[in-house]
Amino acid sequence: MRLLVVNANTSEIVTGKVAAQARASTSTGTDIVPVTGTFGARVIGTRAENAIGEHSVIDLVARHAGGCDAVVIAVSYDTGLRAARELLPVPVVGMTEAGLLTACMLGGRIGVVVFGRRVLPMYQELVASYGLSARIAGWRVLESTAPYTQDTHDALDREIEATACDLVEKDMAEVVVLTGAVMAGVPARVQTAVPVPVVDCIACAVRQAELLVQLNLPKPTAGSYALPSAREMVGVDPAIAARFAARSPG
């Protein structure tokens, strides 16, 4: 099985951390194919950057999804998820959607940790779009750029532990979701200090993608997630145009 892991951020540091955790989470025989955005923000952090990132996701899946059995969107806003799910004949999984749905199966009330006050509304809107707002026990915001370096982050890990425990104690969270692709691998490091499950969204997305491949359910042929009808596209990457040129892209 081959899983395409798409990072629409243009940061190779993020891709490296995501790819490492994705490979650590796979079943035997699954290959991870990581790709990084070639245009747009280093790290998506605004609505406008996210809009550019959606174009980047479509560009990346159009160019690299051939020969892959499923796609994981490794941007924590699930950037371009719905469009990619429509466009491709294989399963497409968003990391935050997968993390949230996994959290729903582990406990009732979910605590969510995000990085940066500016992006908090973006995550709240994303959760609402999945119909899961009522499951959220509470939100916490951390301000740190440390994860976007190659250094060790012991102090940040301790802050994450304290924040997760605060969600448990004050908001009665029964499971904690740590957002951000760059947080891949961190939940395992902090889990022993937190009395409820801490969800790694990348690990969940990889396992969910494997499950969907194994279920071998058909691509819809009706509704809004059926393949788009053939259309002429102007001024886009040839790989994108090719995806729209035929009813059944490869």
Nearest to 209 by CA among 124, 49, 99: 99
| pLDDT in the model for residue 249 | 43
Element (H, E) at 2: strand 2-7
Nearest to 103 by CA among 14, 167, 18: 167
In this structure, are 127 and 219 located in the same domain? no
Is the pLDDT at 11 greater than 70? The verdict is yes
Report the percent of the chain where pLDDT is more than 90.
91
pLDDT band at 247 (very low <50, low <70, confident <90, very high): low
In this structure, are 88 and 129 located in the same domain? no
Q: Cα-atom radius of gyration of the chain, to the nearest Å?
A: 18
| pLDDT in the model for residue 32 | 98
In this structure, are 108 and 170 located in the same domain? yes
Nearest to 12 by CA among 216, 164, 219, 150: 150
Average pLDDT, whole number, for the chain?
94
Could you report the per-residue pLDDT of 78-131, keeping only the tens digit for each?
A: 999 999 999 999 999 999 999 999 999 999 999 999 999 999 999 999 999 999
- CA pair distance 37, 40, nearest whole angstrom: 7
Is the pLDDT at 146 greater than 70? The verdict is no
In this structure, are 21 and 111 located in the same domain? no
Residue 5 phi, psi (nearest 5): -110, 115
Q: Is residue 242 classed as helix, strand or coil in its secondary structure? A: helix
Report the CATH number that the domain containing residue 142 is assigned in CATH: 3.40.50.12500
Burial of 123 per CB tally in 10 Å (0-12, 13-18, 19+): buried
Is the pLDDT at 21 greater than 50? The verdict is yes
Q: Is residue 166 part of a domain?
A: yes
Model pTM greater than 0.85? yes
pLDDT band at 154 (very low <50, low <70, confident <90, very high): confident
Using CA atoms, how far residue 249 sits from 6, 28, 187, 246, in Å, is: 19, 28, 37, 6
| pLDDT in the model for residue 250 | 46
Could you report the per-residue pLDDT of 48-77, keeping only the tens digit for each?
A: 999 999 999 999 999 999 999 999 999 999
In this structure, are 220 and 157 located in the same domain? no
Residue range 156-171: mean pLDDT, rounded = 96
Residue range 205-210: mean pLDDT, rounded = 98
| pLDDT in the model for residue 144 | 76
- Domain of 10? 2-94+204-245
In this structure, are 138 and 51 located in the same domain? no
| pLDDT in the model for residue 153 | 78
Query: Nearest 5 degrees, angle CA 22-CA 184-CA 205?
Result: 50
In this structure, are 169 and 214 located in the same domain? no
In DSSP terms, which residues pair with 72 in a beta bridge? Answer: 5, 93
Q: Take residue 44 and report the two structure tokens written for it.
A: 């998506």
Q: Is residue 250 part of a domain?
A: no
Cβ neighbours of residue 214 under 8 Å, at least 6 residues apart?
A: none
| pLDDT in the model for residue 123 | 98
Choose the weakest-confidence range: 5-14, 51-60, 219-228, 237-246. 237-246
Is the pLDDT at 167 greater than 80? The verdict is yes
- CA pair distance 212, 204, nearest whole angstrom: 12
Residue range 167-178: mean pLDDT, rounded = 98
| pLDDT in the model for residue 248 | 47
In this structure, are 172 and 135 located in the same domain? yes
Element (H, E) at 93: strand 92-94
Residue 146 phi, psi (nearest 5): -55, -40
Cβ neighbours of residue 217 under 8 Å, at least 6 residues apart?
A: none
Chain centroid, CA 164 distance in Å: 20
Domain count, the chain: 2
Q: Take residue 95 and report the two structure tokens written for it.
A: 């990391």
